[in-house]
């Protein structure tokens, strides 16, 4: 029962991954305030199998909910690298798409995609809970079709991502033990 | 009851507990959702979660002991399960309960948690250690009312083997231990909620304070193992309480029925009360349940 | 022929020989000690015979007045002799590397051998005088071992000697009273004499004997000396100190209260809940000791002090079990005595090795040694499983017997007290293994540490085997316990049939099945997990969830040593941690020295004339008082 | 017995002995000066010697001088106590002499003879 | 029996007074003469020991048969003590050969001889006034010995000793005078025979005077205030001699007087109470001492208290224990004082500060001191244990359980302060200011012999047991003492 032969087994796995997404709600901007209504009674994202995850080790979905200062980006990258393989990123708000209203600010990130692979963008200067749930459903469809392979993408062109990150961080790079591993269990 | 059937019976033992346990947790999340006036996840949500975690492609480990931590936890829980008879007819689903007694079961319940703690230790996350310390300190509080209750039971039925206790409770509702030694049952209920991790007592794994405590550093397949062992553990405690206080179960259906009734009491407590601090939990446990238990003990000694 | 009577001399003579021979050739000391310990083990196991009730009167030119020493051996002394012999062997093995380059190398081997000889003497003596003589030799020779390493406080030694000598003299007074009734010191004559004593005398001598033995077992009001003495005694002697010396208190208590005075006689005096008043009080002392000592152990930062308090707590269980005087209780006490000395030997030897290698003895300075010292980790793991009384190993079996004895005889409140302390024991067990081996190394030096010296592996592995053996076959020890019990006249308590099971009054369990089930499941899950899942990545030490921050080399991550800090906030436990009985003893100490200095200055005030006045006054007082 | 005792010793001498003893001890206990104490002890000593002599005295008999011819044993007083007193006197003298030499030494060191101040060694 | 026991007194007397002459031949001749005579004395006493144990010997001097002439009454108890005294004297004399206090005064050896001769005289004499004379000789020479060093401490101790000593001699003389007045005789056996015929009031007065006088000599509680100062002030070998010899003579006189002569049970009971008081007071006051020699003085008083307590009990086993404790106390105290003397000499003083860490610098001497300390405390393998056990067993047999507990409590206190000293010596870091000097042989031999005796007696007490039994019988059997001394015995 090895893991990555496409066939039926993978289909079932994707079905399970679709229906149980554990969210690491990263309150990095104004979008964080939208997360509670989506999870609680009125919009109840738990119906879709969403559940808050306390640590990146347990999480599948990383929601970046707003502008990203370079300082916050370092934390986001470390968290992303600590998550395990089928991991997805949902970027809320226009600030993650093209810098939004901070398009000319000196210390915000203009395009999130340069630094970590993003699965679904939800535009809007802070999308409402319905829009977030819409984004999640889109994400679930991607997972079902098996196209939500952000982790593989990050692994394959790690140099490119690291080059972009080094441009932003300069010499204060993150330690690299979070992404390249020697063997052993 | 050929040996072949006996082997199937033994192998099926933990899986039955796993399924029912996961089912109960799913139902619990659904009911709590309904209490919050929202739909809540589907009943099989927990099973899906566990299956998803099993199919995670990556998992990190901090060393051999880290790798063995969850394994020992499952081992401890399943071993403890084997020493508690699910059905009281003595033929099916009785595990190895005839080889052990109540004190053995009490200590086996804690074995899993201690094994897990070793894994958490090597994980090196300070949150993990804090979670373990809170868990063990809470245990000091929980163990006392529970032990007083089982002392009363042992004194009342003058035996320590669970099967014999079930037999002595046969014959109708009136001579269940629940009614024979009601105060002891009430005292044990408090510690039951504590051990189930019901809300006022879910101190070790509190996500807000200690980032899910012991499970902080465990992801992927290890988390799956921990969730399934928590499911089995839930069901294990339910069957134990049913055996001790509600006269055991003749067949699986009665078992599910009785355990579900007991499980509902946990729900009421979880959804209403907010979390205790550790010292509040221990102080609470040593105050009311212990006094109730002692009263039961005195009544027992007088008789 | 070598027998119980002259086995005592072997270690003592060899100790003295080793001391002087060692001045010429240093390693002679190790060789001789090893030789003597092996020889003692051989004699104890085979030569002395299981229940040869031989009495070797040994009139070595003593004044006819004492009509001779008497030595003998029966199941009961054999049981304790085996504990002594093997711990003597293991501790001497462990001490070779640890004491090799210390400057008190010679005197260590001298006093260590003398103590071992004295213990054998105690166990084999069959009359009160030889019992007392070897008890005193044990006291003063262990005193020198306590004060041996220079960085200990002087006060420790003095507190140790005052308590133990006072306890020994309490015992001596009781022996003399018994002698004045019995006319002889031999055990058989004493047993006859005790039955004709009046109730109040029986109560008085059992009180004095109780004091003598409780001091040795460090039970609560008399335990002041124990934590400091265990912590500050020479590292390689502490296993022997806490593992075996405290068992002499157990041996004495059972021997005197079981056989000589007899529980039935004491019960006749004042009876409460069908046991003797003294027994009941001592049982409660045992429980109080174990509860207080366990909570005190949790908050310690020094490794050896934690283990010291844990020894006091564990011996507290033994005291409770045997004090109530029931057959099953005494059996439980004997079983737990064996298990406790095995565990304490294992833990203290390993800790001594760790301290020897790292040079640090505090949890806050250690951590993360599991990768460097795997065998020691395993040893401590086995040790804490035994200490906490967890099922797979022998620790559970002995605790189970003690619980069963308390339930069977309806001492429920004693049992509840014991449960509080045995549950709290999990905390200090976890702290012990976490503080040293798990978590993060507190300093860089810990990463280059080597495994404990080779000599320590032998005791560690053998003791681990013993723990597993008692786990696999809990009933294996039962026949030896029963012969021991018959040796002091107790009826048989167990009704377990085979070596696999252990069953007594209310229930029983099959250790073999427990371990097999555990093993089977473990293997199954381990195989399933290691083969059928993607290999997990080896994460870096600092690659931990740190709220998205990046911890570097010197962020303090080894939080575990703070376990127990939260106990202060728990009302009852906090109060127990704050009360100190040492204040009471310090005050009495000041009182006595106050009287002493007043007396000294008043009576001997240096003025010649006053001395003459004393003479005249005495004359006048003699005339007045005696004159009429 | 008392009559025999009183009969052959003069009443006065007995009172003298008691007086001497009282003076001696009174002096030894109250006087501060070391030399005075020694003198007082000497007085007590002579008191005892006097007592010893009076014991041996038989009224109407003379001193026991054997060399004098014509003196029979019956006329002599009991000679034994007198012999003893001789040795006692010698001892008294020896003690006195030794005491005085030690007092000189004490005076050199302490500069005073007041006994209440010679107590460096106490407690 | 070739030599007449009287030589035990005559030879030392003769040599003592010829020593100043020997001084001219060779400066050290006096010392060698002294130890030679003491050796002769030991040899003579040990040779007469077996004979005396068969039958007490009565030595007639100058032809006058008792009860008229002065004669020696050599009973088992007295000859045993004579052996002990001469042996101890000889051992201390070997020590003195090299001790520097003797270089300055050649009179030193004469005084030592006089003390030993006086003690032997007390022990052997059968005449009460003769005992008084010997007592005085011994006291005067010990006053002189105490202040031999002419330093402040010595002279202060000497003067105090002299004052209290002269009071004791006054009362002794008074007591003897009354006895002579009533019974007309000075021979002990004769007095013992007719003691009951005395006028009860005067008998009581005589007994109390003598009790007081001898009490001062045998360091009983209210009367022993002078002892600590003397033990501290006198040079160490002299202190060793006092504790081993002079106190023994005083105790012998007390026992002989109370048991054989007056046989007054109420005073024996009083002696027991005073014994207990001595033990408690001296052990307690030793607790707060800062000077080791003074502390040893108090501990010596404590041990004597135990002996008095044992004598006071009066049963046969108690007396055996007392005699055994005589021997142990003499041996132990001699070892302790000699070793502390040397340690103090090398460390420049005997207080705790000066002796810090001396154990590391002089391991042999400190080791001997430690063995002595363990012996005094009564730890089993050494000799102190057996005698203390015998005494306590006898006390328990005689229903004095409370007193037994008091003695044991006192020995706990004793354990405390001895181990405190040992810790000061062995555990403190090595003192830099003291340089290691080699210990000369004359010091080592006596210490080795004494340690040998401690361990020997400790391991094989049975060897001396018959002598203790004989001595105890002798004390108790008043009747045949009288009969032997008066009627016949080994006429010599």
Provide the residue ranges of all domains of chain A, joining segments of one domain with +.
7-171
Q: Would you tell me which residues 545-604 of chain C have a C-beta closer than 8 angstroms to some C-beta of chain D?
A: 597, 600-601, 604
Beta strand C271-272 with C56-58 is unpaired
| C548 or E166, higher pLDDT | E166
What tens digit of pLDDT does each residue of B104-118 get? 999 999 998 898 999
Cβ atoms of residues C396 and B107 within 8 Å = yes
Cβ atoms of residues A82 and A179 within 8 Å = no
What local confidence, expressed as pLDDT, does residue E1 receive? 47
What tens digit of pLDDT does each residue of E263-274 get? 888 899 999 999
d(CA C304, CA C419): 24
What local confidence, expressed as pLDDT, does residue E102 receive? 59
Confidence of residue C549 (pLDDT cuts 50, 70, 90): confident
- D105 with E155: Cβ contact below 8 A: yes
Cβ-Cβ contacts under 8 Å between C and E: the total is 161
Please tell me if residue D28 touches chain C, with a CB cutoff of 8 Å. Answer: yes
Chain A residues with CB under 8 Å of C531 CB are none
Does the pLDDT of residue B207 top 80, yes or no?
no
The tally of domains found in chain E comes to 1
State the burial class of residue C103 (Cβ atoms within 10 Å of its Cβ: 0-12, 13-18, 19+): exposed
Residues sharing a CB contact under 8 Å with residue B253, sequence separation 6 or more, in sequence order: none
d(CA C31, CA C113): 12
Percent of residues, chain A, with pLDDT higher than 90: 23
What local confidence, expressed as pLDDT, does residue A28 receive? 77
Does the pLDDT of residue D9 top 60, yes or no?
no
Cβ atoms of residues C51 and C74 within 8 Å = yes
d(CA E441, CA A66): 96
What tens digit of pLDDT does each residue of B48-64 get? 999 999 888 888 888 88
How large is the average pLDDT for residues E85-112? 82
Residue E165 falls inside a structural domain: no
Confidence of residue E16 (pLDDT cuts 50, 70, 90): confident
Angle between helical axes of C394-408 and C374-388 (0-180°, round to 10): 10
Does the pLDDT of residue C52 top 70, yes or no?
no
Residues sharing a CB contact under 8 Å with residue B137, sequence separation 6 or more, in sequence order: B278, B279, B282, C427, C566, C567, C570
Chain B residues with CB under 8 Å of C566 CB are 133-134, 137, 278-279
What local confidence, expressed as pLDDT, does residue A184 receive? 43
Q: What is the pLDDT along chain A (185 residues), one digit of tens a residue?
A: 444 556 888 889 999 999 999 998 777 788 888 888 888 888 888 888 898 888 888 899 999 988 888 888 999 999 998 898 889 999 998 888 888 888 888 888 888 889 999 999 998 888 899 999 999 999 999 999 888 888 888 888 888 998 999 988 888 888 888 887 665 44
User: Which residue in A47, A52, A84 is closest to B56 by CB distance?
Assistant: A84
Kind plus residue range of the DSSP H or E element containing A120: strand A120-122
What tens digit of pLDDT does each residue of C265-312 get? 666 667 777 778 888 899 999 999 999 999 999 999 999 999 999 999
- D123 with C600: Cβ contact below 8 A: yes
The distance of B157 to chain C (nearest Cα, Å) reads 10
What local confidence, expressed as pLDDT, does residue C83 receive? 93
Provide the residue ranges of all domains of chain D, joining segments of one domain with +.
2-117
What local confidence, expressed as pLDDT, does residue C51 receive? 54
Dihedral pair phi/psi, residue C503, rounded to 5°: -135, 140
What local confidence, expressed as pLDDT, does residue B91 receive? 78
Alpha-carbon distance values, C182 to C123, C190, D85, E258, E314 (Å): 22, 6, 56, 32, 21
Cβ atoms of residues E394 and E309 within 8 Å = no
The DSSP secondary-structure symbol of C453 reads P
Does the pLDDT of residue D1 top 80, yes or no?
no
| C383 or A182, higher pLDDT | C383
Beta strand A22-26 with A61-64 is parallel
Beta strand C69-71 with C56-58 is antiparallel
What local confidence, expressed as pLDDT, does residue C90 receive? 94
Chain A residues with CB under 8 Å of C548 CB are 75-76, 78-79
What local confidence, expressed as pLDDT, does residue C512 receive? 87
d(CA C139, CA C156): 14
According to CATH, what is the number of the domain A7-171?
3.40.50.12280
User: Which residue in B38, B57, B212 is closest to A86 by CB distance?
Assistant: B57
Class level of CATH domain D2-117:
mainly alpha
What's the domain range around E357? Answer: 274-459
Helical H segments across C43-153, by residue range = 75-99, 105-124, 128-146
d(CA C430, CA B121): 9
Max CA distance (Å), chain C: 107
What tens digit of pLDDT does each residue of B20-49 get? 999 999 999 999 889 888 888 999 999 999
Chain E residues with CB under 8 Å of D55 CB are 177, 180-181
User: Which residue in E401, E416, E459 is closest to C162 by CB distance?
Assistant: E416
Does the pLDDT of residue C40 top 80, yes or no?
yes
Q: List A63's β-bridge partners, or say none.
A: A25, A90
Does the pLDDT of residue C4 top 80, yes or no?
no
What local confidence, expressed as pLDDT, does residue C53 receive? 54
User: Which residue in E215, E415, E459 is closest to C165 by CB distance?
Assistant: E415
Alpha-carbon distance values, C221 to B153, C613, E29 (Å): 34, 45, 64
How large is the average pLDDT for residues C465-477? 89
Percent of residues, chain B, with pLDDT higher than 70: 100
Beta strand E490-491 with A51-52 is unpaired
d(CA D83, CA E186): 13
Instruction: Return the residue in B99, B165, B212, B284 with the most chain C beta carbons within 10 A, the one to mutate for interface testing.
Output: B99
What local confidence, expressed as pLDDT, does residue B98 receive? 80
Half-sphere exposure of E116 (CA within 13 A, CB side): 36
Residue E353 falls inside a structural domain: yes
Helical H segments across E428-464, by residue range = 441-459
Q: b/e for A154-175, b at 16 or more Cβ within 10 A?
A: beeeeeebbebbeebbeeeebe
Residue E414 falls inside a structural domain: yes
Please tell me if residue C548 touches chain A, with a CB cutoff of 8 Å. Answer: yes
What's the domain range around B214? Answer: 3-302
Confidence of residue E490 (pLDDT cuts 50, 70, 90): very low
What local confidence, expressed as pLDDT, does residue C306 receive? 94
What local confidence, expressed as pLDDT, does residue A2 receive? 46
Does the pLDDT of residue C260 top 50, yes or no?
yes
- Residue in B closest to C395 by C-alpha: B107
The DSSP secondary-structure symbol of B38 reads S
Give the pTM.
0.92
What local confidence, expressed as pLDDT, does residue A182 receive? 60
Confidence of residue E136 (pLDDT cuts 50, 70, 90): very high
Residue E62 falls inside a structural domain: no
Please tell me if residue E166 touches chain D, with a CB cutoff of 8 Å. Answer: yes
Q: List C524's β-bridge partners, or say none.
A: none
Angle between helical axes of E265-287 and E401-427 (0-180°, round to 10): 30
Please tell me if residue C609 touches chain D, with a CB cutoff of 8 Å. Answer: yes
What local confidence, expressed as pLDDT, does residue D2 receive? 56
The tally of domains found in chain B comes to 1
Q: Which two tokens stand for residue E316?
A: 């046969």
């Amino acid at each position: 029962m090895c893991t990555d032969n496409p066939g039926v087994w993978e289909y079932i796995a994707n079905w399970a991954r679709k229906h149980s997404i554990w969210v690491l709600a990263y309150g990095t901007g104004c979008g964080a305030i939208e997360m509670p209504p989506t999870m609680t009674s009125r919009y109840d994202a738990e119906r879709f199998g969403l559940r808050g995850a306390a640590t990146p080790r347990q999480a599948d979905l990383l929601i970046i909910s707003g502008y990203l200062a370079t300082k916050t980006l370092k934390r986001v990258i470390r968290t992303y690298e600590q998550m395990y393989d089928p991991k997805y990123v949902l970027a809320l708000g226009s600030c993650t798409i093209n810098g939004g209203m901070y398009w000319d600010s000196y210390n915000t990130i203009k395009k999130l995609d340069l630094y970590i692979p993003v699965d679904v963008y939800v535009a809007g200067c802070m999308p409402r809970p319905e829009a977030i749930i819409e984004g999640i459903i889109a994400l679930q469809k991607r997972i079902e079709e098996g196209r939500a392979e952000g982790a593989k993408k990050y692994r394959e062109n790690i140099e490119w991502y690291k080059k972009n990150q080094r441009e932003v961080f300069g010499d204060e790079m993150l330690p690299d033990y979070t992404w390249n591993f020697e063997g052993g269990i | 009851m050929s040996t072949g059937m006996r082997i199937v019976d033994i192998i099926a033992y933990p899986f039955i507990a796993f399924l029912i346990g996961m089912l109960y947790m799913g139902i619990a999340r659904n009911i709590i959702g309904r209490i919050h006036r929202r739909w809540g996840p589907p009943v099989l949500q927990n099973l899906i979660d566990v299956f998803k975690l099993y199919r995670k492609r990556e998992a990190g480990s901090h060393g051999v002991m880290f790798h063995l931590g969850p394994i020992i936890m499952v081992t401890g829980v399943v071993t403890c399960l084997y020493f508690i008879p699910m059905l009281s007819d003595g033929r099916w689903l009785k595990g190895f309960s005839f080889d052990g007694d109540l004190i053995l079961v009490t200590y086996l319940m804690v074995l899993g948690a201690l094994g897990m703690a070793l894994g958490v230790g090597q994980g090196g996350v300070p949150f993990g250690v804090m979670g373990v310390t809170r868990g063990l300190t809470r245990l000091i509080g929980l163990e006392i009312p529970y032990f007083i209750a089982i002392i009363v039971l042992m004194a009342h039925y003058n035996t320590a083997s669970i099967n014999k206790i079930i037999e002595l409770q046969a014959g109708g509702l009136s001579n269940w231990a629940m009614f024979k030694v009601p105060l002891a049952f009430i005292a044990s209920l408090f510690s039951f909620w504590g051990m189930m991790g019901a809300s006022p007592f879910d101190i070790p794994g509190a996500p807000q304070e200690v980032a899910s405590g012991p499970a902080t550093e465990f992801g992927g397949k290890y988390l799956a193992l921990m969730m399934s062992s928590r499911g089995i553990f839930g069901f294990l405690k339910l069957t134990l309480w049913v055996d001790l206080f509600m006269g055991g179960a003749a067949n699986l259906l009665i078992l599910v029925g009785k355990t579900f009734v007991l499980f509902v009491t946990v729900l009421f407590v979880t959804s209403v009360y907010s979390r205790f601090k550790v010292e509040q939990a221990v102080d609470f446990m040593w105050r009311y349940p212990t006094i109730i238990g002692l009263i039961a003990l005195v009544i027992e000694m007088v008789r | 022929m070598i027998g119980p009577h002259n086995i005592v001399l072997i270690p003592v003579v060899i100790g003295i020989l080793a001391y002087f021979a060692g001045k010429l050739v240093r390693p002679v000391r190790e060789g001789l000690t090893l030789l003597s310990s092996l020889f003692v083990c051989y004699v104890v196991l085979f030569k002395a015979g299981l229940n040869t009730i031989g009495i070797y009167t040994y009139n070595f030119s003593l004044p006819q007045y004492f009509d001779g020493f008497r030595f003998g051996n029966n199941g009961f002394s054999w049981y304790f002799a085996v504990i002594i012999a093997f711990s003597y062997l293991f501790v001497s093995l462990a001490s070779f590397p640890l004491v090799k380059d210390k400057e008190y190398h010679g005197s260590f081997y001298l006093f260590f051998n003398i103590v071992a000889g004295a213990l054998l003497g105690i166990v084999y003596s069959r009359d009160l005088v030889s019992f007392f003589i070897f008890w005193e030799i044990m006291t003063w020779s262990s005193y020198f071992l306590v004060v041996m390493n220079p960085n200990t406080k002087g006060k420790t030694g003095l507190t140790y000697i005052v308590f133990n000598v006072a306890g020994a003299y309490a015992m001596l007074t009781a022996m003399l009273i018994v002698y004045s009734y019995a006319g002889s010191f031999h055990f058989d004559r004493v047993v006859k004499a005790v039955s004709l004593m009046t109730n109040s005398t029986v109560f008085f001598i059992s009180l004095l004997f109780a004091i003598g033995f409780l001091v040795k077992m460090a039970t609560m009001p008399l335990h002041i000396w124990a934590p400091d003495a265990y912590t500050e005694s020479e590292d390689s002697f502490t296993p022997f100190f806490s593992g075996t010396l405290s068992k002499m208190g157990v041996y004495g208590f059972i021997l005197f209260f079981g056989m000589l005075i007899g529980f039935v006689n004491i019960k006749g005096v004042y009876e409460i809940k069908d046991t003797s008043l003294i027994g009941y009080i001592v049982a409660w002392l045992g429980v109080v000791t174990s509860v207080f000592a366990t909570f005190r152990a949790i908050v310690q930062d020094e490794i050896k002090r934690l283990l010291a308090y844990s020894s006091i707590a564990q011996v507290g269980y033994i005291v409770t079990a045997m004090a109530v005087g029931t057959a099953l209780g005494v059996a439980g006490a004997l079983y737990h005595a064996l298990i406790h000395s095995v565990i304490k030997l294992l833990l203290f030897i390993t800790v001594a090795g760790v301290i020897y290698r790292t040079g640090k003895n505090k949890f806050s300075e250690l951590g993360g040694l599991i990768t460097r010292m795997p065998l020691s980790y395993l040893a401590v793991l086995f040790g804490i499983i035994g200490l906490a009384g967890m099922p797979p190993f022998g620790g559970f079996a002995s605790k189970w017997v003690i619980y069963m004895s308390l339930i069977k005889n309806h001492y429920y409140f004693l049992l509840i007290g014991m449960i509080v302390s045995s549950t709290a024991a999990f905390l200090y067990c976890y702290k012990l293994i976490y503080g040293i081996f798990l978590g993060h190394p507190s300093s860089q030096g810990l990463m280059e540490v080597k495994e404990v010296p080779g000599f320590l592996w032998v005791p560690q592995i053998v003791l681990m085997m013993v723990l597993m053996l008692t786990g696999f076959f809990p009933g294996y020890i039962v026949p030896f316990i029963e012969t021991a019990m018959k040796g002091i006249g107790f009826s048989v308590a167990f009704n377990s049939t085979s070596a696999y099971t252990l069953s007594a009054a209310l229930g029983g369990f099959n250790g073999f099945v427990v371990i097999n089930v555990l093993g089977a499941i473990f293997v199954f899950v381990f195989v399933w997990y290691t083969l059928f899942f993607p290999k997990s990545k080896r994460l870096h030490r600092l690659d931990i969830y740190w709220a998205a921050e990046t911890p570097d080399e010197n962020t303090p991550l080894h939080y575990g040593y703070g376990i127990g800090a939260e106990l202060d906030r728990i009302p009852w436990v906090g109060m127990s941690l704050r009360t100190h009985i040492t204040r009471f003893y310090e005050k009495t100490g000041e009182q006595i020295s106050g009287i002493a200095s007043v007396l000294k200055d008043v009576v001997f005030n240096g003025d010649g004339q006053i001395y003459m006045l004393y003479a005249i006054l005495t004359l006048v007082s003699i005339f007045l008082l005696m004159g009429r | 017995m008392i009559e025999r005792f009183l009969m052959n010793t003069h009443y006065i001498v007995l009172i003298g002995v008691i007086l001497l003893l009282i003076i001696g001890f009174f002096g030894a206990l109250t006087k501060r000066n070391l030399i005075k104490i020694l003198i007082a002890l000497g007085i007590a000593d002579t008191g005892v010697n006097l007592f010893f002599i009076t014991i041996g005295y038989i009224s109407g008999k003379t001193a026991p001088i054997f060399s004098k011819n014509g003196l029979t044993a019956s006329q002599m007083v009991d000679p034994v106590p007198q012999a003893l007193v001789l040795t006692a006197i010698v001892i008294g003298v020896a003690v006195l002499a030794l005491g005085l030499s030690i007092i000189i030494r004490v005076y050199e060191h302490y500069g005073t003879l007041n006994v209440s101040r010679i107590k460096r060694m106490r407690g | 029996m070739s030599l007449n026991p009287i030589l035990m007194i005559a030879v030392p007397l003769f040599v003592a007074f010829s020593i100043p002459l020997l001084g001219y031949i060779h400066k050290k001749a006096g010392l060698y003469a002294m130890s030679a005579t003491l050796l002769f004395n030991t040899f003579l006493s040990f040779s007469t020991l077996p004979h005396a144990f068969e039958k007490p010997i009565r030595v007639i001097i100058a032809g006058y048969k008792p009860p008229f002439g002065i004669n020696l009454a050599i009973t088992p108890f007295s000859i045993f003590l004579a052996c002990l005294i001469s042996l101890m004297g000889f051992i201390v004399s070997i020590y003195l050969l090299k001790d520097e206090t003797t270089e300055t005064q050649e009179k030193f050896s004469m005084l030592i001889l006089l003390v030993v001769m006086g003690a032997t005289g007390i022990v052997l004499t059968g005449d009460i006034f003769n005992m008084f004379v010997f007592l005085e000789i011994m006291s005067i020479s010990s006053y002189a010995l105490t202040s031999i060093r002419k330093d402040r401490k010595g002279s202060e101790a000497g003067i105090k000793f002299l004052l209290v000593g002269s009071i004791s001699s006054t009362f002794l003389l008074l007591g003897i005078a009354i006895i002579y007045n009533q019974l007309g005789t000075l021979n002990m056996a004769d007095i013992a025979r007719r003691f009951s015929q005395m006028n009860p009031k005067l008998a009581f007065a005589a007994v109390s005077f003598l009790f007081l006088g001898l009490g001062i000599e045998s360091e009983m509680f209210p009367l022993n205030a002078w002892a600590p100062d003397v033990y501290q002030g006198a040079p160490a070998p002299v202190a060793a001699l006092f504790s081993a010899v002079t106190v023994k003579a005083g105790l012998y006189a007390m026992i002989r007087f109370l048991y054989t002569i007056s046989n007054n049970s109420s005073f024996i009971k009083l002696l027991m109470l005073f014994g207990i008081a001595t033990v408690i007071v001296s052990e307690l006051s030793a607790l707060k001492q800062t000077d080791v020699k003074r502390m040893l003085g108090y501990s010596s008083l404590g041990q004597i208290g135990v002996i008095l307590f044992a004598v006071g009990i009066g049963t046969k086993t108690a007396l055996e224990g007392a005699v055994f404790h005589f021997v142990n106390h003499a041996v132990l105290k001699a070892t302790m004082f000699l070793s502390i003397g040397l340690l103090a000499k090398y460390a420049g003083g005997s207080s705790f500060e000066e002796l810090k860490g001396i154990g590391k610098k002089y391991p042999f001497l400190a080791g001997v001191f430690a063995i002595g300390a363990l012996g005094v405390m009564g730890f089993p393998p050494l000799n102190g244990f057996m005698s203390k056990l015998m005494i306590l067993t006898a006390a328990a047999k005689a229903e004095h359980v409370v007193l037994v507990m008091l003695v044991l409590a006192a020995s706990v206190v004793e354990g405390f302060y001895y181990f405190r000293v040992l810790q000061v010596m062995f555990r403190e870091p090595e003192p830099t200011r003291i340089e290691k000097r080699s210990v000369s042989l004359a010091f080592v031999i006596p210490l080795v012999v004494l340690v040998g005796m401690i361990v020997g007696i400790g391991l094989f007490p049975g060897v001396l047991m018959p002598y203790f039994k004989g001595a105890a019988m002798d004390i108790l059997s008043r009747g045949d003492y009288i009969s032997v001394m008066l009627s016949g015995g080994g006429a010599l």
